[in-house]
Amino acid sequence: MPTPTKGPRLGGSSSHERIILANLATALFEHGRITTTLAKAKRLRPVAERLVTKAKRGDLHSRRQVMTVVRDKTVVHGLFTEIGPRFANRPGGYTRIVKLGSRKGDNAPMAMIELVEALAEQVVAEATGAAKRGAKERAAKTAAKPTMTRIENLAAKAEEAAGEAEDAEAEGDVEGAVHAASEADEAAAEAEALAGEIGDEASAEAAGDALAFEEIADEAADAAKKAAEDEQA
């Protein structure tokens, strides 16, 4: 024999209580939320959640068991086709009780019981995914900072090599100008490759500066070579 529920019984007898809870469950599944006394809402909650669990199974036996409580076939159909599948991935806690204060007249505590929104799980999943994507983007930006610093250093190296090539050209040092131009070429090539990996505007601009200094160094080396050839002639 089932253990009697603690607390005062709803209605005048146990059969009356079952009918009250059945009617409340029917109204809850039909409208999604109902307002009743706090005592009835607390007694309704386990009954409604057991019915939702049976609706999640979806077999004929479960449907017949639900029909012994909810006699409205339209409500049962909606319970098995809409409400049950909505909570397919939820292990429990299909209802929520919200206290509304006391009722005028008899001062009975009132409450609203409603079916929770399954969309809340999707919102949580989307928020978690967005947080993970944001963390990955921040990690990528953090990893790109040293690379960007490296490109700027290479651009400065190419600029220094271009200056050395121009000085060597002015002094007639062909070998020094060619060596400086070679260093500028290496620095510009590495900067261009790193900028291609990052792919943003700042890195492309820094790599472009390195390439410009490379051209200056090459021009200085060519001018030094030409001047040396003219002297020999």
Residue 162, pLDDT above cutoff 80: no
Decide: 55 and 100 in contact? Cβ < 8 Å.
Answer: no
CB 223 within 8 A of CB 172: no
Q: Which residues of 215-229 are buried (b: 16+ CB within 10 A; e: fewer)?
A: ebbbbbbebbeeeee
Q: Is residue 90 helix, strand or coil? A: coil
Whole-number Å distance between alpha carbons of 51 and 64: 11
**Residue-level pLDDT at 69:** 93
Band (pLDDT 50/70/90 cuts) for residue 35 is: very high
Residue 154 tokens read as 């290479």
Q: How many CB atoms lie within 10 A of CB 131?
A: 10
| 110: nearest Cα among 43, 39, 48, 47 | 39
Work out the average pLDDT over 165-180: 69
**What average pLDDT does the segment 157-162 reach?**
70
Q: What tens digit of pLDDT does each residue of 92-148 get? A: 889 999 999 999 989 999 999 999 875 555 556 667 777 777 777 766 665 545 566
Which two tokens mark 104?
């005028």
> Which residues are within 8 A (CB) of 204 and not within 5 positions of it... i.e. 6 or more apart?
195
Tell me the C-alpha distance between 84 and 67, whole Å.
15
Residue found by looking up tokens 């021009």 in the block: 219
Q: How far apart are CA 229 and CA 129, in angstroms?
A: 67
Of the options 1.10.1060.10, 3.90.1030.10, 3.90.1720.10, 3.30.360.10, the CATH number for the domain spanning 14-116: 3.90.1030.10
Q: Which residue has the tokens 């290479």?
A: 154
Residue 232, classified by CB atoms within 10 Å of its CB into exposed (0-12), middle (13-18) or buried (19+), is: exposed
